């Protein structure tokens, strides 16, 4: 810049200069008028082709507005899941391009005039300055082109994954686009080198209007440059799957059915407004994220890495009036749900994958040895170097669970594992080897045990990839509907079934399906000491009064034990013929399906005999029952259609979503997924759609949702009721994947999302996946919370106020600590 006492707003100029300036301005505006009135059908270079090409529509499709012509990609060679349509450029965008290009031409002419009229420089000095500037500019542009072209090539490769070029014209179009991108980057880089020259020209023009125009143009160029760089950086970080996903899912035709992301194909041009709306929504979401300030701390509790808020409330447990009925093992949630994060065990690492995990797990993931000492001789668990190994034994099947399982069916073929008997409840499960080996017989077992002296038994089960929850036969009903389990199993489960009028056995009667079996393997069946004889007599008396039929007692010579098999009646005839009403029948208003926080009652519910009612007939054999609507589903469905039609539509919907979206592009490595929870399951359609994978799904029905849990059991799946404003009865790091379909938006009406998400973090394993489907505002909020936890966003998108988010938990833990006084022993 020239030195000296030059004032910015000095208006003194020679007449020749003013005349020349007037001429140039006249010519510039003439060119501008010609440019504007050119035919609109012509194709023009776009202001920012890189930005336009890489802009996403609201469902992750790449949009090309760089041409006014039709640029729809041919799709006959493209797989159905990856078909896309490239949108036609906007007429308005083309007109704006003309105006911007004309303004650029005008600015260049003005700069040239300014340079020629600069006082104090000879012609040779001007030439030398121009040569130096050009040399420096060329070097900068060359480097910039190489870097930017590398980025744009990477972005273009990601965008074109799964798309086939069907003619040479499209290839030429892509080459033209690359040239335009290169020119654009050159123009942006040159604009940075010309900043000082523009300032000089502004001083020499010495008019307020010229100075303002130059500054505005300079600001616009810098903003566009920053936007291109930001888009390139974002695209380089985005998984390739985002570029070829095409998350447009099949629409449901029912007006009453809840809105879901629908599978459609966009080719009608109506998506032009979606780009703008998507940009505005992203800016709005970004502002919302910046306003939120989430502060996380690590929980300091006696339980440490195994902290379970509703089961480790030491403050309440110490003040219980009695623990006679295992009240200290029941749920006692803190008044304020914790918002801190449970620490990781020292040396924790990614769990071993199924099926190897059934036989061994990393010791440091569940670093407890007491059970190996107490039960090692019964082949429960052993410490083997850096592993905990599981030989497959148990107290009643030391020689292995598989022999024990086959012995049961050989003794009673009506059991029919994996056909008639599909959903099993294992009471007092130990390390759940019984349920683990039943997978080989196509049986799904819900194992449960209390958090008691058998240290971490349920945690061992979950780490092995076997379904299990923490629960106790105490003063409350189990969190399951009535009449849903095909078989209930108890092998030395340490439950006093015969006391207090058989209250605990009557609870099993409530959840056992009419015609289902109770398998009891315990010492009173085969030992002859005084205590065992007394228990056997009491159990015989109780089961007879309950009208259970003792089918057989089978001795297992290999394990030197015996098992008694009881069957629940399928009619009320026996109840009506009993000489005494003991145990009593429940009142007619007592709902057997009511299970959340309900006090146990020592009574029996009548068996349904109306052929249109659930429980009057046995379900279809597996796997037919998975897909066929239950015979008794006659009422109006959750989504407004007749029940059976609603069931079928929901299943088809989830099959489409899983196959077309979840399996191909939201950042989930399904080979590493074993333990899954559907946090709001409805009919269990999501779990049913995963039937061909080696996974199991805990289907949760929130207590404020329609009670569809019996339908889930009827189709051969399992689940439980839960209130998501409280912690779940499981150990930390239990699940590989959590699925939440329209859950969080409803929860916000009842409780704060911070403790809910702290619970999500607690039960999800590091590197586990959370998939959320909800409205756009909730998706933005959940994404913001996840980012504050240093989680990785694998996929996020929204359309028509419907959003989809996939995030992955990391190993990150905060440094600050929060002491939970209610959990300090």
3-class DSSP assignment, residue 559: coil
Give residue-wise pLDDT tens across range 472-495: 999 999 999 999 999 999 999 889
268 CB contacts (<8 Å, ≥6 apart)? none
pLDDT band at 376 (very low <50, low <70, confident <90, very high): confident
- Burial label for 123, CB within 10 Å (0-12, 13-18, 19+), is exposed
What is the Cα–Cα distance from 10 to 148, expressed in whole angstroms? 42
**pLDDT surpasses 70 at 101:** no
- Per-residue confidence (pLDDT) for residue 584, from 0 to 100: 96
Tokens of 714: 């009827």
| Strand ranges in 585-684 using DSSP code E only, listed in sequence order | 675-678
pLDDT band at 31 (very low <50, low <70, confident <90, very high): confident
Task: Give the pairing type, strands 387-389 and 382-384.
Answer: antiparallel
For the segment 229-239, the average pLDDT, to the nearest whole number, is 44
Asked if 365 contacts 348 with a C-beta cutoff of 8 angstroms, the reply is yes
What is the Cα–Cα distance from 601 to 592, expressed in whole angstroms? 10
Asked if 475 contacts 450 with a C-beta cutoff of 8 angstroms, the reply is no
Q: How many CB atoms lie within 10 A of CB 510?
A: 23
What is the Cα–Cα distance from 49 to 156, expressed in whole angstroms? 12
What is the Cα–Cα distance from 176 to 185, expressed in whole angstroms? 14
**pLDDT surpasses 90 at 750:** yes
Q: How far apart are the first and last CA of the chain?
A: 74
Tokens of 9: 């707003």
Residue 716, Ramachandran bin (φ over 0: left; ψ between -120 and 50: alpha; else beta): left
Beta bridge partners of 677: 698, 738
User: Rg (Cα) of the chain, in Å, rounded?
Assistant: 35
Give residue-wise pLDDT tens across range 152-182: 444 434 434 333 333 433 434 444 444 444 4
pLDDT band at 293 (very low <50, low <70, confident <90, very high): confident
Asked if 737 contacts 673 with a C-beta cutoff of 8 angstroms, the reply is yes
Tokens of 308: 């379970």
622: nearest Cα among 409, 441, 422: 422
**pLDDT surpasses 50 at 11:** no
Phi and psi for 424 in degrees, rounded to 5?
A: -120, 145
Tokens of 605: 């519910």
Give residue-wise pLDDT tens across range 618-675: 999 999 999 999 999 999 999 999 999 999 999 999 999 999 999 988 999 999 999 9
pLDDT band at 727 (very low <50, low <70, confident <90, very high): very high
Vertex 39, ends 35 and 41: CA angle to 5°? 125
To the question of pTM greater than 0.75 for the whole model, the response is: no
Positive or negative torsion for Cα 96, 97, 99, 104:
positive
Asked if 816 contacts 822 with a C-beta cutoff of 8 angstroms, the reply is no
For the segment 504-512, the average pLDDT, to the nearest whole number, is 98
DSSP 355-387: TGGGTEEEGGGS---HHHHHHGGGTS-EEETTE
Asked if 536 contacts 525 with a C-beta cutoff of 8 angstroms, the reply is yes
3-class DSSP assignment, residue 651: helix
What is the Cα–Cα distance from 460 to 669, expressed in whole angstroms? 23
- Per-residue confidence (pLDDT) for residue 238, from 0 to 100: 41
The secondary element (H helix, E strand) that includes residue 2 is none
3-class DSSP assignment, residue 421: strand
Asked if 810 contacts 767 with a C-beta cutoff of 8 angstroms, the reply is yes
What is the Cα–Cα distance from 766 to 779, expressed in whole angstroms? 21
- Per-residue confidence (pLDDT) for residue 455, from 0 to 100: 76
Q: How many CB atoms lie within 10 A of CB 45?
A: 14
What is the Cα–Cα distance from 660 to 637, expressed in whole angstroms? 25
What is the Cα–Cα distance from 383 to 362, expressed in whole angstroms? 10
3-class DSSP assignment, residue 814: coil
For the segment 200-208, the average pLDDT, to the nearest whole number, is 41
660 CB contacts (<8 Å, ≥6 apart)? 81, 249, 263
Q: Which of 94-98, 359-363, 456-460, 612-616 has the lowest mean pLDDT?
A: 94-98
Beta bridge partners of 741: 773
Using CA atoms, how far residue 125 sits from 116, 389, 487, 521, in Å, is: 11, 84, 97, 103
Give residue-wise pLDDT tens across range 792-814: 999 999 999 999 999 999 999 99
pLDDT band at 94 (very low <50, low <70, confident <90, very high): very low
19 CB contacts (<8 Å, ≥6 apart)? none
For the segment 232-254, the average pLDDT, to the nearest whole number, is 39
What is the Cα–Cα distance from 189 to 49, expressed in whole angstroms? 15
- Per-residue confidence (pLDDT) for residue 28, from 0 to 100: 72
The two counts, helices (H) then strands (E), for the chain are 25, 19
What is the Cα–Cα distance from 358 to 312, expressed in whole angstroms? 28
């Amino acid at each position: 810049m020239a030195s000296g006492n030059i004032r910015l707003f000095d208006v003194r100029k020679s007449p020749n200069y003013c005349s020349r300036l007037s001429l140039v301005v006249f010519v510039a505006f003439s060119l501008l008028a010609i440019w504007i009135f050119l035919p609109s059908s012509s194709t023009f270079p776009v202001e920012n082709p890189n930005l336009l090409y890489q802009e996403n529509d609201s469902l992750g499709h790449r949009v090309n507005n760089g041409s006014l012509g039709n640029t729809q990609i041919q799709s006959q060679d493209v797989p159905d899941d990856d078909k896309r349509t490239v949108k036609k450029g906007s007429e308005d965008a083309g007109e704006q391009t003309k105006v911007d290009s004309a303004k650029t031409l005008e600015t260049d002419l003005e700069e040239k005039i300014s340079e020629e009229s600069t006082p104090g420089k000879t012609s040779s000095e001007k030439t030398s300055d121009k040569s130096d500037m050009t040399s420096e500019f060329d070097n900068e542009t060359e480097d910039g082109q190489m870097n930017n072209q590398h980025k744009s090539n990477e972005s273009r490769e990601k965008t074109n994954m799964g798309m086939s070029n069907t003619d040479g014209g499209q290839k030429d179009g892509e080459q033209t686009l690359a040239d335009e991108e290169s020119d654009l980057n050159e123009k942006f880089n040159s604009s940075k080198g010309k900043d000082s020259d523009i300032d000089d020209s502004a001083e020499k023009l010495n008019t307020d209007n010229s100075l303002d125009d130059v500054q505005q143009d300079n600001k616009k160029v810098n903003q566009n440059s920053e936007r291109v760089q930001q888009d390139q950086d974002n695209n380089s970080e985005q998984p390739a799957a985002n570029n070829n996903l095409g998350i447009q899912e099949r629409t449901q035709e029912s007006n009453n059915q809840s809105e879901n992301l629908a599978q459609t194909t966009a080719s009608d041009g109506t998506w032009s407004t979606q780009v703008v709306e998507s940009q505005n929504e992203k800016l709005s979401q970004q502002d919302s994220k910046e306003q939120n300030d989430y502060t996380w701390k690590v929980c300091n509790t006696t339980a440490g890495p195994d902290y379970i808020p509703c089961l480790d409330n030491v403050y309440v447990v110490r003040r219980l009036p009695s623990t006679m009925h295992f009240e200290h093992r029941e749920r006692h949630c803190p008044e304020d749900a914790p918002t801190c994060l449970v620490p990781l065990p020292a040396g924790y690492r990614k769990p071993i994958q199924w099926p190897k995990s059934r036989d061994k797990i990393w010791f440091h993931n569940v670093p407890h040895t007491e059970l190996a000492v107490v039960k090692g001789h019964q082949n429960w668990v052993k410490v083997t170097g850096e592993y905990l190994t599981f030989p497959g034994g148990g107290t009643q099947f030391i020689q292995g669970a598989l022999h024990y399982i086959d012995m049961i069916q050989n003794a009673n073929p009506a059991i029919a594992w994996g056909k008639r008997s599909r959903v099993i409840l294992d009471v007092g499960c130990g390390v759940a080897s019984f349920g683990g080996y039943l997978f080989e017989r196509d049986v799904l077992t819900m194992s449960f045990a209390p958090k008691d002296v058998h240290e971490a038994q349920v945690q061992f089960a979950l780490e092995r990839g076997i379904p299990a929850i923490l629960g106790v036969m105490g003063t409350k009903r189990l969190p399951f509907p009535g009449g849903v389990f095909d078989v209930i199993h108890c092998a030395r489960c340490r439950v006093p079934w015969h006391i207090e009028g058989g209250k605990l056995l009557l609870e099993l009667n409530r959840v056992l399906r009419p015609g289902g079996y109770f398998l009891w393997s315990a010492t009173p069946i085969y030992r002859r000491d005084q205590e065992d004889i007394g228990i056997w007599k009491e159990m015989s008396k109780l089961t007879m009064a309950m009208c259970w039929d003792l089918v057989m007692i089978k001795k297992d010579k290999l394990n030197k034990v015996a098992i008694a098999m009881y069957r629940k009646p399928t009619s009320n005839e026996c109840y009506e013929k009993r000489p005494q009403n003991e145990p009593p029948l429940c009142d007619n208003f007592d709902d057997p399906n009511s299970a959340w926080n309900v006090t146990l009652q020592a009574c029996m519910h009548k068996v349904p005999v109306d052929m249109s009612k659930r429980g009057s007939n046995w379900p279809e054999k597996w796997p037919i029952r998975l897909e066929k609507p239950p015979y008794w589903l006659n009422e109006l469905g959750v989504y407004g259609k007749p029940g059976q039609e609603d069931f079928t539509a929901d299943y088809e919907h989830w099959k489409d979503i899983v196959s077309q979206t979840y399996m191909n592009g939201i950042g989930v490595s399904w080979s590493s997924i074993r333990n899954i929870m559907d946090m709001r399951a409805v009919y269990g359609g999501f779990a049913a759609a995963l039937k061909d994978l080696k996974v199991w799904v805990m289907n949760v029905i929130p207590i404020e949702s329609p009670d569809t849990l019996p339908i889930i059991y009827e189709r051969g799946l399992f689940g439980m009721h839960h209130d998501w404003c409280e912690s779940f009865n499981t150990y930390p790091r239990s699940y590989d994947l959590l699925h939440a379909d329209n859950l969080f938006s409803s929860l916000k009406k009842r409780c704060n999302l911070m403790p809910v998400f702290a619970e999500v973090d607690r039960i999800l394993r590091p590197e586990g996946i959370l998939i959320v489907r909800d409205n756009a505002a909730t998706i933005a909020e959940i994404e913001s919370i996840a980012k504050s936890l240093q989680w990785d966003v694998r996929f996020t998108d929204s359309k028509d106020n419907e959003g989809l988010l996939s995030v992955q938990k990391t190993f990150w833990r905060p440094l600050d600590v929060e002491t939970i006084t209610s959990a300090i022993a």
